[in-house]
Amino acid sequence: MSDRLGVPSLPSFLPSSLCQHLLCCGAVRTEALFVLRAVIFSQCVFTRGRCESLVISERKEVGLQIRTYSNNLGSYEVFLVAGVRIIIKHCYAADRGAHTAAVMDLNDAKTRNHELVPHKGFKLINGTHDPDDVDQIYNLEIRESDVFVVTYPKSGTIWMQQILLLLESKGDVTAFSKLNNSSNGDLIPWIELNGNRQAFITAPSPRLRVTHLQHQFMPSALGQKKGKVIYVARNPKDVLVSYFHFHKLANMLETPKDFNDFFEKFMRGDVFGCSWFHHIKTWYSRKDDMNMLFITYEEMIQDLESAVKKISLFLGKELTDEQLANVVKHSTFNNMRKIPQASYEQVPGDLLNHHQGRFMRKGTIGDWKNHFTVAQNERFDEVFYREMKDFPLSFIWDIRDIE
């Protein structure tokens, strides 16, 4: 039914229209597995007789999102209740009689599938990453115009997606916001997600990508100063807190028992991204080997205009003062929250449980003070000093330090 990472393996007897949608639409990958099972359990209603093109429609009701797959042979309806529970029912075209084909709870799926996949000293997400595919990223050919934004999770990735898209459009937010995409991640995707490496190979220039991978997995050509890398770092205390809240939102990750439990996992590096300290140190220590701009989340908050100008200069963009001002305007936290693609509010509920909170939560400095105990803070400071004492990096830990 599925490969070792939980990604649907579609049998040859399913109609090509259904297969194409289930495989190509990564946004409904979890749902796709359930749809596939429902199709097989019901003796493949879609394959009886002559298949016409599959029609996909969607409607919303209070607390309910309904996606319908249909053709001349029948239809399947997928119900996402509060972004959590999926109920699939099918209707035979002959008599339109309906019955429930499968009832599954995504919380149960998370319990079974949330375990991270250890791979070469790193941890990948079950069902989201393929270790063999990730290994092939290293050998990708790189063009001079390629740009990779590298971050540890929850360090400003979607902020940089918005900024890069605005720099490409010279500040015109309508140039990409009107496109039929659920999020900016469709336009500047994660290179390590299933299927994205292959798409990268044939994509037109400029190829803009983001990644949470450690240095060891990235294209070796970056070390020959081909392409460009922007590394965004964020103070790790705020990273920990933001990552804790994201785990409650993201259906592909384990829901933490509580903050104390997640604190321990983060300190051990037992999360996707592994150790924050190892991630930043390995990238920073190689910054002179590649065309890299190293910038911090805190300096972007402190002076977004200066940060945008620095990024624009690094990428060789030529924008007027008015165009740069528009880039800054549409990259502020408050304005991004108003743009569904930038704020990830349109990402399907089977990936992000929007009822658990907003993807763009606070976007500030120092929220860790609302979560850390005195003992946790003291312990974190000890580890930070021990790990970072040989690296000339400093962070802003409180928003009051820049006000």
List the catalytic residues. Answer: 212
Structure tokens at 346: 């349109």
Task: Tell which residue, 132, 287, 291, 323, has the closest CA to residue 225.
Answer: 291
Distance CA 125, CA 116 (A): 5
Residue 153's contacts (CB-CB under 8 Å, 6 or more residues apart) are 212, 239, 243, 246, 271, 272, 273
The length of the chain, given as a count of residues = 403
Q: Assess contact for 52 and 71: CB atoms under 8 A.
A: yes
Strand residues in 62-142 grouped as ranges (E): 64-71, 74-81, 85-92, 98-105, 116-119, 122-125
Q: Assess contact for 251 and 351: CB atoms under 8 A.
A: yes
How deeply is 127 buried, as exposed, middle or buried, from its count of CB atoms within 10 A (0-12, 13-18, 19+)? buried
Main-chain phi, psi angles of 112, to 5 degrees: -80, -35
Task: Tell which residue, 112, 115, 133, 134, has the closest CA to residue 125.
Answer: 115
Q: Assess contact for 124 and 117: CB atoms under 8 A.
A: yes
Structure tokens at 341: 């693609």
Helix (H) or strand (E) holding 292: strand 292-296
Q: What is the dihedral of CA 174, 179, 185, 186, to 10 degrees?
A: -160
Distances (CA, A) of 315 to 175, 176, 269, 386: 19, 19, 33, 35
Cis peptide before 219 (omega within 30 of 0): no
Distances (CA, A) of 26 to 31, 218, 326, 380: 10, 22, 32, 37
